[in-house]
Amino acid sequence: MAEITGPFSNLLRVHKQHTLSFPAVLSSQSEMRFVPWKLHLPTLSANPCYETQESSKVYHEGLGRDTIADVAKEAASAVVTIHVFDQESEGMCSGIIIREDGLILTCAHEISQGGQIFVYLRDGERYKSRLVVAYLDLDIALLKISSPTRNEFSKAKIGSASKLRPGHLVIAIGCPLSLTYTVTLGIISSECRPSSKLHEKGVERDFMQLDCSIAQGNSGGPLFNIDKELVGINVFCSKTAPGMSFAIPIDNILELLGPKRERNAVQPESGWIIYDFYGMMINQKDPSFPDQQGVRVLKVRGGSSAERAGIKQGDWILKFNGMPIHGDIREIMHVLKEKYGQMISVTLKGQEGAATRVDPDPENHHAPRISNLPRSKM
């Protein structure tokens, strides 16, 4: 233990062996100089939105001068910048490679409207990519790099958001305002903010609240802990509260994509766009696939409006509110979203003679709104 004299000797205890440096006055006559000491982050008790067996202890023993720089350097090799071109406009967002064969996790709102998709790697290489699957209401999408000459790419190390608590450090990497590979540091402000508290309509989902500085272009980009593990995907920020941003926990995404034990072998069904509506996850085929009338119900959430109406996994829906489904259903879904919270009717294959009534969920009908927290797509 270092000997400390002077007027501050009763206020400061210094450990020589630790690395994070802050100025300390050593005596009334001495000059200001840096003395190494260890920063201990307190663990705050909280009630997370999901159950976890992980310990709530601080998961990193200390911070060095290069800790954050090392995370940024290692993680950046798997971060990509995504450009989407159509006849009228160009979109840009961020993404992260999660599998060695070039499978990319990103946001859905920039890439689900069609057009050519190109991704740029850290080394400047550009590759054409295709949409594998898009979960529109959850704002999550998967892309696949198309390259005849390269079949192996750097991938992120996938962690768990269940370890995170308020005050834990996180690092965001992305391309805000087209400034590629921008690194920002922040903390977890809250490990769980339900979408109903954030002016978010549709299916209920959970976000992590951060104070990382992110802006337009960061959407779809990765969030890392200081152990260089992917713990979330950044999706939106607040216009009226600078420094308030939100990310989807990686655990929630992995649960959507497949069993946790297969985190590095995600095998989504190719060519589908996914919607979550009244508790039923439905999908439609990509236009490049053969036409088939209707949409298939992939999953029905327990206790949802769809389950109460008797809709089951594997059912085929032929009509919504009397509107036949042929090919692209985005226009129909747009109409139905305007009626969210009202009763709808669906016609199931094999039951064409009678429509099935789906009543809204009374607990999620009128979602609470916060008037001073409008959503800003990045």
Residue 6 clears pLDDT 50, i.e. is over it? no
Q: How far apart are CA 166 and CA 146, in angstroms?
A: 39
Among 137, 139, 206, 315, which one carries the catalytic annotation? Answer: 139
Q: Indicate the pLDDT class of residue 246, thresholds 50, 70 and 90.
A: confident
Averaged pLDDT, 111-121: 81
Q: How far apart are CA 376 and CA 30, in angstroms?
A: 51
Among 94, 109, 129, 276, which one carries the catalytic annotation? Answer: 109
The one-letter code for the residue type at 159 is G
pLDDT of residue 241: 63
Q: Are 193 and 206 in contact (CB under 8 A)?
A: yes
**Maximal C-alpha separation, the chain:** 93
Query: Considering the entire predicted model, what is its pTM?
Result: 0.60
**30 labelled catalytic:** no
- 307-349 pLDDT, tens digit per residue, is 888 888 888 888 888 888 776 666 666 666 666 667 888 888 8
Domains and CATH numbers, the chain: 46-266 (2.40.10.120), 272-358 (2.30.42.10)
- 257-315 pLDDT, tens digit per residue, is 764 433 333 344 444 556 667 777 776 654 544 456 777 787 787 777 888 888 888 88
Q: Are 202 and 179 in contact (CB under 8 A)?
A: no
The pLDDT mean for the chain works out to 71
DSSP annotation string for 183-245:
EEEEEEEEEEEEGGGTT--SS--EEEEE-----TT-TT-EEE-TTSEEEEEEEEEESSSTT-E
pLDDT of residue 239: 67
Among 129, 160, 195, 219, which one carries the catalytic annotation? Answer: 219
Least confident of 107-111, 155-159, 351-355: 351-355
**219 labelled catalytic:** yes
pLDDT, greater one: 15 or 86:
86
